[in-house]
Amino acid sequence: MASAKSKALARVAALGAEIDYALVEGRYLDANVDAPPGQVWAATGTHCVVVHFMALDDAPPVSQQWLAVLDDLADGTRPCTTSDCDYCQE
């Protein structure tokens, strides 16, 4: 059975999205799952969802976070409707 992470990575690729890994001092801190340019994740209305590898005290286990990412990606993307969106203008 495929892991939640591998399923999420496959869904990210199918949607044309990208994962931006934050690397500090040789360690991954988190992964930002970025929606394609000009789009937001339909489920959250945000441009990215995050998986924290260096868990905060109250963060769920990484495997549960990948399951949450799958839920966030389930509805795909929709256009960003914020006219002065800083993220879209980058």
- What percent of the chain is helix, strand and coil (3-state, nearest 5)? 25, 30, 45
- Ordered by start, the domain boundaries in the chain are 4-78
Strand partners, 40: 78
Q: pLDDT value at position 59?
A: 66
Q: pLDDT value at position 22?
A: 81
Q: pLDDT (tens digit, 0 to 9) for every residue of the chain, 90 residues total? A: 678 888 888 988 999 999 888 877 777 678 889 999 999 999 999 999 888 776 556 667 777 878 888 888 889 999 999 888 888 876
Q: pLDDT value at position 64?
A: 82
